[in-house]
Every structure is written in structure tokens, then in C-alpha cells.
Structure 1
Amino acid sequence: MIIDNLRNYIRTCPYLDTFNNAIRVNVNYLEPSPDTYSIEEIPIEPIMKKYVNGDSIRQYAFIFTSREPYGADVLQNIDNSGFYEKFAEWIESNNDNEIFPLLDNGLEPLEIKVTSTGYAFAVTEDTAQFQVQMRLKYLKKK
């Protein structure tokens, strides 16, 4: 499954360890406690281009999200934003070097990219959900 492959790929990010000492990445579930991660699917038209031989260029949109400590501590908030900047740079570097998630069943990754900057999405008194939107483009052979 694509989402499991993305999960395994993101778990290799070197900044996950330094950010919160945990590499647990959930799928479609973000725990309520701070310092947790999740990948969540975004509805999108999957087929970008179809070829006469039945092959197709497809896309898979998703959100990488985390719940982090949040509040009046400016340094903590800077750390949260800084992580997402580093994460985006890591994705961009991997894409430039063609380091992609491993895919199954005749799917060939073509591009992985961040499509939004990291931002606080849902804020409570002492935590915030930060997220970044992403897209995987791949070739599906018939």
C-alpha cells in the first residue's frame, strides 16, 4: 500500500529523532499527546495522464502532521517551525537525488514534493497540530 510505503520512507528522516526522540508515525490518526506524528490521505483526482498502452501518471496527496508543545515559549515555537523547514529541505534534496519511497506492484515513483509550507493547523492551550501538505507522483504500468 502506498501509505505504508510513505510511512516507512518518512520514518527515515534524520530530523525525526532530533525533534522528539520518537520515530512512531501513525496513519490517519494523530495522538492527542505532544511529540506524535501521522500521515493522512487527502482526496485528489489520482490520474494525471493516461497513455494509450494503459499506463498512467498518478498522484497521491497526503499530509504529514504532528502535535507539538505550543504556547508563549518563543523558542519552542521556533523549534516547531524550524523542524518543518528542515523536513521540507530533506524532501526536496531526496527528490533532487531521486531518493524516493519504495513502491510495490509495478508502481514507479517519479517525484515527491512538499506542496505547502509547514503551519499550525489546530491550536489548544498548550499544544498545536502542525502540518505540511505533500504529493507523490508515480507511474502505474498496466
Structure 2
Amino acid sequence: MIIEAIRNYIRECPYLQEFEGVTGLVKVNVDYLEESATVYSIEEVPVDPIVKKYVNGDSIRQFQFIFASREPYGADVLQNISNSGFYEDFANWIEKQNNDDNLPILGECCESQRIKVLSPGYAFQVDVDKARYQIELRLKYYKKQGGI
């Protein structure tokens, strides 16, 4: 599954571990963002998956998604700068992974081509002491005919 491959890939980002303050793999949910801070989630964005279809049935596809987190938030400017800094570091990490050709492993019939950051990280939903931050991304990949 594409979303599982993206989840495993994102869990390798060293900034998640640094931000979370733990070692090992960090918990990243799918389509569920807990209320506590600091937690992460990947959420699919509905888009037409086929970018280009070839005569033989192969295709170039896209999987658009949001990477979101719930963070401490409030009048503490340093905390809010830290939150924004995390997303800047995350976007830079994605760009470096692309440059190094280190992309999600999708399986036998699919091959990742690029992950593109579509928006900067920003506070999407703000509460008294927490905020939902998010960044939008797109995975472009090649799929052979009959591949799942």
C-alpha cells in the first residue's frame, strides 16, 4: 500500500525523533491525529491518481497527502518558532532525500520518482494551548500495468 510505504519512509526522518525526544521509530498515525501534543499523522488528499497513461497500460501516478502534527502552542514565541522550524527542517529533509534518490519503496510493480513539498508547514487549526500544523506533499510514481 502506498500510504504504508510513505508512513515507513517518514518515520525515518531524524527530525521527528529529535522533535519527539525519543530514539527509535516515532509513532505516525494514518488519518488520525490525537489531541495530545506532540503526535503525527498522514492523511490522503483526494486527487486524480493518474498523471499520464501509456499505451501498454503503465502509468505515472500521484499520491497527494498531508503530514500533520499537534504541537504545543501559545504566547511562547520560542515554542512557535520551534514548531515552524521543525517543518522547515522536514521540508529540507524531503528535498535532500529526493536529491539522494532515497524515496519510499512501493513494491514490485511501482517505483517512486519524486516527493514534492507543495506547501510550507503552517498552523492550520489553533487552540488555546495546542495547534495542528501541517504540510502538503505529493508522491509521484511509476506503476506497471496490473500492479497493485
Partner of 1:20: 20
- The CA distance in 2 between the partners of 1:138 and 1:18, in whole Å, is 29
1:7 counterpart = 2:10: no
1-side partners of 2:45 and 2:20: how far apart?
Answer: 25
Letter in 2 for 1:79: S
Using structure 2 for the length normalisation, give the TM-score: 0.94
Give the equivalent residue in structure 2 for 1:124: 127
1:72 aligned to which of 49, 72, 75 = 75
From 33, 38, 51, the equivalent of 1:30 is: 33
Distance in 2 separating the partners of 1:59 and 1:79: 31
What is the Cα-based RMSD across aligned positions, in Å?
0.7
- Alpha-carbon deviation of 1:108? 0.6
* Counterpart check, 1:47 vs 2:50: yes
Give the aligned partner of residue 118 of structure 2.
Answer: 115
Q: Distance in 2 between matches of 1:17 and 1:59?
A: 28
Give structure 1 regions of 4+ aligned residues with deviation exceeding 6 angstroms. Answer: none
- d(CA) in 2 for partners of 1:94 and 1:113? 11
CA distance in 1, matches of 2:60, 2:67: 22
Gaps (5+ residues) in structure 1?
none
Structure 1 Cα separation of the partners of residues 89 and 128 of structure 2: 26
Identity score, percent = 62
User: How many pairs does the alignment contain?
Assistant: 142
CA–CA distance in structure 1, aligned partners of residues 17 and 79 of structure 2: 16
Say whether 1:84 aligns with 2:90. Answer: no
Residue 94 in 1 paired to residue 97 in 2?
yes
C-alpha separation between the residues in 2 aligned to 1:100 and 1:18?
21
Shift of residue 34, structure 1, vs aligned partner: 0.6
Q: Secondary structure at the match of 1:60?
A: strand
Measure how far apart 1:140 and its partner are. Answer: 0.4
Q: Residues of 2 paired with 1:111 and 1:88: CA distance?
A: 13
| 1:84 positional shift | 0.2
